[in-house]
Homo-oligomer: A and B are copies of this chain.
Amino acid sequence: MSAGHTAVTTPAAGEPVITCETPQDECGVRDVLDRLGDKWSVYVVVELAAGVLRFKELQRRIHGGISQRMLTVTVRRLERDGLVKRTVYPTIPPQVEYELTEMGHSFTHLVKALADWSIDHRPAIAAARADYDSAQGVDV
């Protein structure tokens, strides 16, 4: 893995600094965020991380219930970005299989890091929110 693109240094005082190759740009982070940011991409990647899935299976597995349309849109975007491979079997009825590409698999490691951090800090976040809300909400 490469780790030379950005640097996080923590001085004694505890102030990490993120340095980018292209300071005027967004460090390229937005490329990923645009994929992470939309509501469903991560779920699709997570489900696909488990293996090859067909459209309907994918839809059923996703918690909360994704609409056909959104699944199509999401999966198409991921395909376009080279994270997902789509294989069509021209049978009747048609069958389409989705699976992660090499890059898609490497992406799952990011998702894992995200999940770990999230689970780790969820209590702290919840506490912070409760704290904030109780402090602000008293005299409204």
Q: How many copies does the complex hold?
A: 2
Where chain A touches its partner, the secondary structure class is helix
CB distance from A33 to the nearest CB of B (A): 6
Asked whether, in the complex, the Cβ of A115 is within 8 Å of the Cβ of B18, the reply is yes
Are B17 and A116 in contact, with the CB atoms below 8 A? no
Q: Which of B20, B43, B80, B124 contacts A26 (CB 8 A)?
A: B43
Do B82 and A18 touch across chains, with their CB atoms under 8 A apart?
no
Q: How far is the CA of A103 from the CA of B128 in the complex (A)?
A: 11
Q: Known: A28-B119, A105-B14, A116-B3. Contact between A42 and B49, CB under 8 A?
A: no
Can you list 7 pairs linking A and B with CB atoms under 8 Å apart?
A6-B116, A21-B119, A26-B43, A29-B114, A37-B38, A103-B121, A103-B124
Interface residues on A, range: 35 or more
Q: Which residues of B contact A107 (CB under 8 A)?
A: 117
CB contact list, A57-75 vs B, under 8 A: 63-64
User: A89 at interface (Cβ–Cβ under 8 A)?
Assistant: no
Given A15-B51, A43-B26, are A110 and B119 also a contact pair (CB < 8 Å)? Answer: no
